[in-house]
Amino acid sequence: MSNGSGGPAWPPRGEPAATAGPRGGERRPLVAANWKMHLVRREALAWCRAVREGLQSPAAELVVFPSFPLLPAVAEAIAGSRLSLGGQDLHPEAKGAHTGDVSGPQLRDSGCAWVLCGHSERRRDHGESDELVGRKVAAAERHGLLPVLCVGERREERQAGRTFEVLERQLRAGLTGLTGRPARLAVAYEPVWAIGTGDTATPATAQEAHAFLRRILGESAGAAAAQGTRILYGGSVTPENAAALFAQPEVDGFLVGGASLDPGKFLAIIAGCGRAG
């Protein structure tokens, strides 16, 4: 059965589409630190110590995405803590002549549980297509990794009124080939015009985009899948705006870029998602 992007629907249809509503009780908040191409080993280990020491019963699930060379050191530094490890990208194939790439099995072997797929900087810097991102999401599932599927519109696309068109295209393509449980996927809405610019989307803008993404998830996967999938916001998240963004019922957490490099700021963003009861 087609999902509108040329591939099979994920999972098979059979449930009514989801509608926007209060945050599902089963959706635990998720806050992720994307270090991008920052930090060296000494700085990474200091970050891990500071965050471990500063965590106070967070309500959120926590993930850190270091650069590939830092994965083994960070895996050791966060062992036994509330932090999980993720890779910033993966190749669709398990092995082969792909110089400079990394595979799902290699990420698993390095201690990763998560992986980013389709981050806007990969799409921009490496020309990653929607089809390639979908293959990466499927590869993550195949190799036992939890994918964070990143979607988002550029400034010119938003100004042209094409935001929902872009989000739907990227989301449907990213789901192509997935066969597993909905809980094995998170979606990150990252308005490209807000990443690293300081131009954060307003809480209302984020809510609108997240509600739309959840509706498309419902059409593609059914109500239960849509309501169980966490949708994160990523776009100049700071301690100052985190609480207001998280107050929106469709915002389930954050993919944090620049602010995550500062342990104090990252801890403050985590605190904005509340504490465990």
* 270 Cβ neighbours under 8 A, 6+ residues apart: 31, 55, 58, 60, 62
pLDDT band at 111 (very low <50, low <70, confident <90, very high): very high
Residues forming beta bridges with residue 258, ordered by sequence position: none
Q: Give the residue among 250, 187, 249 at the shortest CA–CA distance from 221.
A: 187
Q: What's the pLDDT tens digit per position in 133-168?
A: 999 999 999 999 999 999 999 999 999 999 999 999
From the CB of residue 11, how many other CB atoms can be counted at a distance below 10 Å? 18
* Positions marked catalytic: 119, 190
- d(C-alpha 15, C-alpha 18), whole Å: 9
Q: What's the pLDDT tens digit per position in 36-51?
A: 999 999 999 999 999 9
Domains parsed from the chain with CATH numbers: 30-271 (3.20.20.70)
Mean pLDDT of the 229-240 span: 94
Mean pLDDT of the 84-96 span: 98
3-17, 108-122, 176-190, 251-265 — which is least confidently predicted? 3-17
Is the per-residue pLDDT at 18 higher than 50?
A: no
Q: Tokens standing for 161?
A: 């009124």
Q: Give the residue among 246, 224, 228, 225 at the shortest CA–CA distance from 237.
A: 246
Residues forming beta bridges with residue 194, ordered by sequence position: none
